[in-house]
Structure 1
């Protein structure tokens, strides 16, 4: 059956149950990811007693490694020829989530080994986590074009995804430390128990996503097209909207992860109340959730690019206000809410814009490669995450951080700069990049989809440069439900 035999893909509406199931996927993946983003560096420095510099090196090496495993995932996805009833992407979500949960828990195990062995084991576990997480999460993200071609429904899925991610981050922010502190006599056991509980919950959420979503437009590469890591890089550089999005996302994800990694240090040593982290997380993540719920209506009225830029400006303003007047608990929470409210629009639209670049790439080259485009994009995110994990470790060493003691005035100033000035500067760079160079607006996207449908109806897909393989041999498997 071809796409022309089913309902117009640009008007197909998804049920709220399917959107909820898709959102559960990022809720579950963030339960397993954010315990590492938020607390693993502190576990390294305070429990394993690794120097902060060593912790940064572990993040840097492991994240660079997983950047390439993302590329490998794209190759594996696009190479699939025999697509069974489970679909092209869903099997990876189901099977890879098991080792992700196991390794996410094992990362918080204190083995009592020597310094060198502890660092080697920590790096190995982090790399394994990244490998399996790539298989699970890249498949989850790349699945959107197979679910729907309706741009408004894609924005809805992006909002549900970001809503799930926000709730996962909120639960990790609010719930992890209270569980960990139940074991005051054995803090290392507290980290392990908390990690295990979050990983188990994350696993079942991923399975709920697997069972609740449907792949309607499964497209298989033509026989002559051989996916590879080089093609994933080409997918970025031959796709201008994707390249701009990658550069902007490099800045925004680094800013967001630096903020998350440092906030536990900031609340403990600058505000002298580590339990404030839970309250801050509750209110600020609540603001993110409100922002996520506003995304579809805001996009419909103003367009994706304007909403994205507005979110970046709110984010930068919140960080600047916090740096100047965020010395008290109340002002810190208030201005953090403002900044995180801005991030809701940015992070939601990152996922809504990527499927649009998939269609742009097909329109320009004649070959549709969800896996290569998506993992080319996530490559930039992993490079960003590598830098975001490495820089706090380096900077903590540079500002003279010493675990579990009263910090010097210079160290406290350094923590304030790390959590506010660095993210603010990166958000401004992202705004300039998107504002000046991102050209794929809603009107142009509608024309691209119309031309793609016309090509498929004609049985061929011309391309814009000689020597590029066309999509005439591509098989499209449209599944009607």
Structure 2
């Protein structure tokens, strides 16, 4: 007996139901809520660890490395769990995870930014425990959320739109986090209270937005495993390693997500110690994220004209040009913000298309191996993104330690050079590496994808006809 589609919301088997604008916005809002929680760790937690908690830079970087590797393993486990769910109820296959993790995720986010009265060793253990707990709960929430697109629609155009709405939501969450967080921190009497106040506001808002998203999205094509069928994890991952487009996407995301997150983590240091004005962080965030929204808006148009692969590579070229130009010519706040806008504009092409390309990889994997595993595909992809996040947290900590960074003090020329290299050279070079890998190894064009979908539909239609014929023969006998 094969997999069968579940239609918990009363979707008929006639003409496929088109997604309403309200649902697309609701899906995008889900990533606003996610990023209110996730981005706080990516942007501010390293600085909180070094400047408020008092951890050595290298030790703080190691917290990110080990915690993110743990997260990556959690993603794999959650993806397998989701794919093997049985007896799916009216809430759906993926949606319940969003609902039930919203409040615990908000609470652990707040706890991660507390400054307990422990020794340095005790604080280091506290950092490990809280951030690993955050990562585990975030995996249980985010892997099903990201796996939902193939279950919401089979229309490639609608999938691209959902990916764009999701990226717009991610960017809006990042924009608000960048613009709004530090002013709240700086408004308090000390950093400990400021961080706790700011993170509490963002965590509560993030949980509420996730619940709103859950209430306004639907699953139409969730694949439920029959009671007697359980896919072995070994079989799932053997199938993954035959999915070449997915493997290429995983590799380039090691580059791009690491580059993006290093920029997020280091920009606070750059503004405070290189430009000597931490108050420009909100302005930089406002203008650069504004350019990201422009990029997200034109990605569907460019993808239709150029194809997703060419648009992805164009974004990397713009990103690299912005960062390398900033390294050479950004000597004040105005030029820094201008080049940051260019780099973030280019990165928006990459980040917008990632989710659409992963959805394409689900169909490619099903066509190649006969196994459809949204959760495993998505979790394998996010495994590499978590590994890149681990690198992005570890590398700045190690580099800051190597160049002699001293918290809350004037920095040496060596430290300044290290911060500038992390901010511009590291992401610029990795953007160029992404272009090379995509050009040489990514072969799933938009036209080829359409052929694969048509062949899959033909297979399923033939299987349905054969099943109907068998049932008719059984009745006649």
Query: What is the TM-score normalised by the length of structure 2?
Result: 0.94
- The residue number in structure 2 matching 1:6 is 13
RMSD (CA atoms): 1.7
Q: Is the 8 A contact 1:231 1:372 kept in 2?
A: no
Aligned mate of 1:267, from 271, 278, 287: 271
Cα-to-partner distance string for 1:450-471 (whole Å, 9 max, x where unaligned): 1111111111799xxxxxxxxx
CA distance in structure 2 between the partners assigned to 1:48 and 1:139 by the alignment: 33
SS at match of 1:219: strand
Cα-to-partner distance string for 1:263-291 (whole Å, 9 max, x where unaligned): 00000000000011110000000000111
Aligned mate of 1:350, from 335, 347, 354: 354
CA distance in structure 2 between the partners assigned to 1:308 and 1:333 by the alignment: 23
CA distance in structure 1 between the partners assigned to 2:127 and 2:12 by the alignment: 52
- The residue number in structure 1 matching 2:67 is 62
Gaps of 5+ in 1: 463-481
SS at match of 1:404: coil
- The residue number in structure 2 matching 1:478 is none
SS at match of 1:459: helix
Cα-to-partner distance string for 1:124-162 (whole Å, 9 max, x where unaligned): 111110101001111000010000011111110011000
- The residue number in structure 2 matching 1:16 is 21
CA distance in structure 2 between the partners assigned to 1:157 and 1:352 by the alignment: 8
- The residue number in structure 2 matching 1:319 is 323
SS at match of 1:83: coil
- The residue number in structure 1 matching 2:91 is 86
Call closer, same or farther: CA 1:231–1:105 in 2, change over 3 Å.
Answer: farther
Call closer, same or farther: CA 1:230–1:264 in 2, change over 3 Å.
Answer: farther
CA distance in structure 2 between the partners assigned to 1:297 and 1:284 by the alignment: 21
Does residue 189 (structure 1) correspond to residue 189 (structure 2)? The answer is no
Does residue 130 (structure 1) correspond to residue 135 (structure 2)? The answer is yes
Cα-to-partner distance string for 1:147-200 (whole Å, 9 max, x where unaligned): 0011111110011000000010011110000000111x2210110110010011
CA distance in structure 2 between the partners assigned to 1:229 and 1:333 by the alignment: 47
Q: Is the 8 A contact 2:239 2:369 kept in 1?
A: no
Aligned mate of 1:166, from 154, 168, 171: 171
Matches within 5 A, 1:365-444: 365-444=369-448
Displacement of 1:229 in angstroms is 4.8
Displacement of 1:34 in angstroms is 0.5
Of the structure 1 ranges 314-323 and 235-244, higher mean CA displacement relative to structure 2 is found in: 235-244
Displacement of 1:367 in angstroms is 1.3
Displacement of 1:7 in angstroms is 4.4
Q: Is the 8 A contact 1:19 1:160 kept in 2?
A: yes
SS at match of 2:278: coil
Cα-to-partner distance string for 1:7-34 (whole Å, 9 max, x where unaligned): 455xx53111000000001110000010
- The residue number in structure 1 matching 2:121 is 116
Cα-to-partner distance string for 1:409-462 (whole Å, 9 max, x where unaligned): 111111111110000111111111111111111111111111111111111799
Q: Is the 8 A contact 2:146 2:378 kept in 1?
A: yes
CA distance in structure 2 between the partners assigned to 1:135 and 1:8 by the alignment: 33
CA distance in structure 1 between the partners assigned to 2:46 and 2:365 by the alignment: 38
Of the structure 1 ranges 233-242 and 79-88, higher mean CA displacement relative to structure 2 is found in: 233-242
Does residue 226 (structure 1) correspond to residue 230 (structure 2)? The answer is yes
- The residue number in structure 2 matching 1:246 is 250
Q: Is the 8 A contact 2:36 2:173 kept in 1?
A: yes
CA distance in structure 1 between the partners assigned to 2:201 and 2:451 by the alignment: 48
Call closer, same or farther: CA 1:461–1:348 in 2, change over 3 Å.
Answer: farther
Q: Is the 8 A contact 1:34 1:169 kept in 2?
A: yes
- The residue number in structure 2 matching 1:475 is none
- The residue number in structure 1 matching 2:57 is 52
Displacement of 1:237 in angstroms is 1.3
CA distance in structure 1 between the partners assigned to 2:462 and 2:194 by the alignment: 62
SS at match of 1:226: coil
Does residue 457 (structure 1) correspond to residue 461 (structure 2)? The answer is yes
CA distance in structure 1 between the partners assigned to 2:370 and 2:69 by the alignment: 31
Displacement of 1:227 in angstroms is 4.0
Displacement of 1:235 in angstroms is 4.2
Gaps of 5+ in 2: 467-477
Q: Is the 8 A contact 2:36 2:177 kept in 1?
A: yes
- The residue number in structure 2 matching 1:468 is none
Does residue 293 (structure 1) correspond to residue 297 (structure 2)? The answer is yes
Displacement of 1:236 in angstroms is 3.2
Call closer, same or farther: CA 1:63–1:445 in 2, change over 3 Å.
Answer: same
- The residue number in structure 1 matching 2:473 is none
Query: What is the TM-score normalised by the length of structure 1?
Result: 0.93
Cα-to-partner distance string for 1:284-332 (whole Å, 9 max, x where unaligned): 0000011111111111111101110000000000001000001111110
- Extract structure 1 runs of 4+ deviating beyond 6 A: 1-5
